[in-house]
Amino acid sequence: MTSARPSIGFLGIGLMGAPMARRLLGAGFEVVAWSRTADKARALAQDGARAASSAAEAAAACDVLIAMLADGPAVADTLFGAGGAAAALKPGGLVIDMSSIPPSLARDHAARLAGQGVAHLDAPVSGGTRGAAAGALAIMVGGDPEAFERARLVFAPLGRAIRVGPAGAGQLAKLANQVIVGVTIGAVSEALLLAAAGGADPAAVREAIRGGFAESRILEEHGRRMLERDFRPGGMVGTQIKDLDTALAAAAEAGVTLPLSQDVRDRFVELRDRLGAGGYDHSALLLQLEAMAGARLTDIAPG
């Protein structure tokens, strides 16, 4: 891209999409927003966005189309379904799919769009709603180097973008991220329960081990959430399950096994199905482990 800012069509104004669209507006981009729930797109009007009545309308009005949708079927339907956005795209346009979808589906979308002269990047993100609002997302990008260079100006207000390989590679990087996140949430939950059950102050233990080899964003942010029992959604349990299911399917396709991922996925499923916490933040995995222990972290912590 040249130094001129391209116009942006933004599909999906949800927990992540809304702050990301606001970051682009704040950086001076023209944004045409669309959401299945029309009020969500209209809510951006006070920040300078224009609400589109359809995904196709947003696509026709933009140079770069960004999708931040719930899952693979939602992306496929929005792009290629009846009245979908893909048919309305300008030749020479660019689609940046920042949703988390299967790598095979990302490769298929890239091939279909290339057939109509439109470039495609799969660029899922990590960092949650806080990272989206702060412009501090980790953006994992798959696609052609030329398309990635074109997108740098768009990525800049959103976070740190790194190209990790060809089409589908961004989604593989996101799956690797979600494997680490899911397993580490389980490890932090178990560690705090162990500390409390043995008679230590879990909050003090968390502080004591920070800065050592166990330090991580999960220990910092999700460990705090566990101690404060703040399970308002950032990254939701249901989304974590979706991503782990996709990771396990990709692993099977590649001929490798992920036993830790399988175990933590099953615990998240129990948290959703038996404890009804599918809409909680994924740090709520602590609740499933507490149910197994028969005691809450705060109950067994020393006074």
Annotated catalytic sites, by residue?
174
The C-alpha atoms of residue 184 and residue 42 are separated, in whole angstroms, by 38
Torsion, Cα 133 264 67 69, to 10 degrees, reads -100
Torsion, Cα 178 184 185 188, to 10 degrees, reads -170
Best CA proximity match to 110, nearest among 120, 101, 98: 120
Q: How many residues does the chain have?
A: 303
Cite the DSSP H helix spans in 55-168: 55-60, 72-80, 103-114, 128-134, 145-155
Beta bridge partners of 140: 162
The C-alpha atoms of residue 41 and residue 12 are separated, in whole angstroms, by 8
Contact status, residue 298 vs residue 229, Cβ threshold 8 Å: yes
The C-alpha atoms of residue 134 and residue 260 are separated, in whole angstroms, by 32
- Write out the two tokens for 1: 């891209």
Q: Which residues of 238-262 are buried (b: 16+ CB within 10 A; e: fewer)?
A: bbbbbbbebbbebbeeeeeebeebe
How far from the centroid of its chain's Cα atoms is residue 2's Cα? 28
Write down the number of H helices and E strands in the chain.
15, 9
